[in-house]
Amino acid sequence: MSVAVRIPTVFRKLTSGEARVEVAPGTIGDLIGQLESRYPGFKQQVMGDDGSLHRFINVFVNDEDIRYSGKLDTETAEGDTVSLLPSVAGGAIVSTARSPNGETRSSS
């Protein structure tokens, strides 16, 4: 058996469109290394030059956030599922209001 890694849409260009990739069990750091070997450039998309995960990448092993376990040293076992999820942020609520003179204006 192996570990299934779910690849988000934004990274599928690196994995030839694969949404799920099988790798050997190991630490999360090992798994990222395997993905880098198979798909050059993958590591720089999820890790910084200092060797830590980019702050906008969330990693889960069987729905458990690795930030609260061993981070990159979190172990995986056969049959586990690892999910890489880029954070989503931004946007604003825009409302449209009419001024007393009837003009339309937007605010955020």
What was the pLDDT predicted at 42? 93
**Would you say residue 27 has pLDDT above 60?**
yes
- CATH class of the domain at 3-107: alpha beta
Flag whether pLDDT at 90 surpasses 80.
Answer: no
Cβ contacts of 96 within 8 Å, gap of 6 or more: 104, 105, 106
Q: Got the DSSP string for 53-108?
A: BPTTEEEEETTEEGGGTTGGG-B--TT-EEEEEE--------EEEE-TTS-EEEE-
Supply the mean pLDDT for the chain: 87
User: For residue 12, what is the enclosing H or E element?
Assistant: none
**Domain definitions of the chain by residue range:** 3-107
pTM, to two decimals: 0.77
Query: What pLDDT does residue 78 have?
Result: 96
